[in-house]
Amino acid sequence: MAQRTATGTRARRTGATIEDVAAAAGVSNATVSRAIRGLPRVAQPTRTRILEIAKTLGYTPSASATGLATGRTRSIGVVTSSLRHPAYSAALEGAEKALHQREYSLILLHHPHLPTSPQPHTNLNMLRRRVDALLILGARTLGQNQIEQFIRDGIPCIVIRMHNEQDDGIQIQAAVTAICHLVQLGHADLVLFQDGATTGFQLRLKARGLEHCANALNAAGIRPREIRVETRSAAIRNSRKAFSRLWAETGPKPTAIVCASDEIALGVLLEAGHIGITIPKDLSIVGMDGQNLSEALGLTSVSHQPARRANAGIHRLLDALEGDHGITYAGESSPELVIRQSTAPRKQERA
């Protein structure tokens, strides 16, 4: 029997220990340990008996003890700069699923990055001896130095870039995907409703080494107009206004619009409904990274698949951890187009 009377008052009611199981089964705790974890050197009948007794006693190994003995906590930290943004939630869900499946636990840390003041590594320290590895949601969530610090401490890190960040390596791909879809539908007069922060589309194409893409568009005579929507506050309202203004302009109306976010798309949708424009007959709209909203609205959109990417990230992390090799850098999965009801071929009536 385990001598449950700790050294004083620190007795805390705790479940059965490995010793209880060992005693009940008439074997040593070493054998129980092997049996429970499915390790080889245990006779089949012994194993069966032990497992049964363990179940009867409701035995669950103590994470702390295992952790102390093995040096691994079997838990992974997930650091995110947002819990409200749907894309981050999706990523979190993807990570949770992978972790749960592989029987790791997920330690969540919300670490919003205030643009001002390079806040010190606040309670990131808390993670140091608590997790085996780190999944970081958002490229700007942790500083490069902090990440290197962790890695130096033997904690592997993977960063999942999110689309709403300055670093638009993903966003630009998504825009290209959306445009391709529209061009295939015959649209030529496109306008891009961009997030206020981003720089010119054509410029970004080139910066990303996608000149061929820019050239192709030019060759086809397609030169998307760009409109900046201030999204810091009241994205929806600003988007409505921008669309209203656009539509009031003289000259030919665009036949398709690509929106840099769900909010922007919603604003366009609302105003279009108000003006009496029928979607997608009169106008095609593509949203971006549509989570719940664009599905509910029937909005065609291109998704960055945060859930899938975070999921894959966790698997890479755990593979590295368990295989004792470095992290493998699988190619990021590219944005995926989900076609719903807001896009249609261009009207050919008076072509």
Partner DNA sequence: CTGAAAGCGCTAACAA
Partner DNA sequence: TTGTTAGCGCTTTCAG
Decide: residue 340, CB within 10 A, 0-12 exposed, 13-18 middle, 19+ buried.
Answer: middle
17 forms part of the interface with DNA (CB under 7 A):
yes
106 binds a second copy (CB under 8 A): yes
Q: Which of 3, 13, 115, 221 binds a second copy (CB under 8 A)?
A: 13
Told to check if 234 binds a second copy by CB under 8 A, we report yes
Judged by CB under 8 A, the residue of 47, 49, 97, 308 near a second copy is: 97
Residue 30 binds DNA, judged by CB under 7 A:
yes
Q: Which does 41 bind (CB under 5 to 8 A by kind): a second copy, DNA, none?
A: DNA
Which tokens in the block code for residue 112?
Answer: 């919003």
Question: Is residue 5 involved in binding a second copy (CB under 8 A)?
Answer: no
How far apart, in whole angstroms, are the C-alpha atoms of residue 328 and residue 317? 8
Q: Is 280 helix (H, G, I), strand (E, B) or coil?
A: coil
In the block, which residue shows the tokens 């199981």?
A: 21
Helices 306-323 and 86-101: crossing angle, nearest 10°? 30
Largest Cα separation within the chain, whole Å, is 90
Name which position in 42, 92, 172, 190 contacts a second copy (CB under 8 A). Answer: 92
- Interaction residues for a second copy, span 315-334 (CB under 8 A): none
List, in order, residues 6 or more apart from 217 with CB less than 8 Å away.
Answer: 179, 223, 224
- Residues from 249 through 308 that contact a second copy (CB under 8 A): 263, 266, 269-270, 273-274, 291-293, 296-298
**Cα-based distances in Å from 115 to 118, 119, 138, 142:** 8, 9, 14, 12
Residues 6 or more apart whose Cβ sits within 8 Å of residue 173? 334, 335
Task: Based on the shown chain and the rule CB under 7 A, indicate whether residue 36 belongs to the binding site for DNA.
Answer: yes
Does 14 sit near DNA (CB under 7 A)?
yes
As a dihedral over the C-alpha atoms of residue 271, residue 275, residue 280, residue 286, rounded to 10 degrees, the angle is -20
Pick one of a second copy, DNA, none as the site partner of residue 244 (Cβ within 5 to 8 A by kind): none
Binds a second copy (CB under 8 A): choice among 3, 44, 70, 117:
70
Segment lying near a second copy (by CB under 8 A), choices 59-67, 138-146, 168-176, 190-198: 59-67
49-108: contacts with DNA (CB under 7 A): 59, 61-62, 65-66, 68-71
Among a second copy, DNA, none, the one that 19 touches (CB under a kind-dependent 5 to 8 A) is DNA
Question: How far apart are the C-alpha atoms of 129 and 72, rounded to whole Å?
Answer: 9
- Report the alpha-carbon distance of residue 91 to residue 162 in Å, rounded: 9
The CA distance from 65 to 238, in Å, is 56
Near a second copy by CB under 8 A: residue from 86, 202, 247, 308: 86
Say whether residue 33 binds DNA (CB under 7 A).
Answer: yes
Q: Segment near DNA (CB under 7 A), from 41-49, 76-84, 192-200, 306-314? A: 41-49
Cα 99 from Cα 293, distance rounded (Å): 27
CB of 54 closer than 8 Å to CB of 37 = no
Q: 131 to 170, contacts with a second copy by CB under 8 A?
A: 153-154
CA distance 291 to 189: 27
Nearest Cα to 113, choosing from 137, 130, 91? 137
- Binding partner of 145, given DNA, a second copy, none, CB within 5-8 angstroms per partner class: none
Among 123, 184, 250, 348, binds a second copy (CB under 8 A): 123
**CA 5 – CA 37 distance, rounded (Å):** 27
Q: Which residues bind DNA (CB under 7 A)?
A: 2-10, 14, 17-19, 26-31, 33-34, 36-37, 40-44, 46-47, 59, 61-62, 65-66, 68-71
Q: Which residues bind a second copy (CB under 8 A)?
A: 6, 10, 12-15, 58, 60-68, 70-73, 75, 78, 83-84, 86, 89-90, 92-93, 96-97, 100, 103, 105-110, 123, 125-130, 153-154, 234-237, 263, 266, 269-270, 273-274, 291-293, 296-298
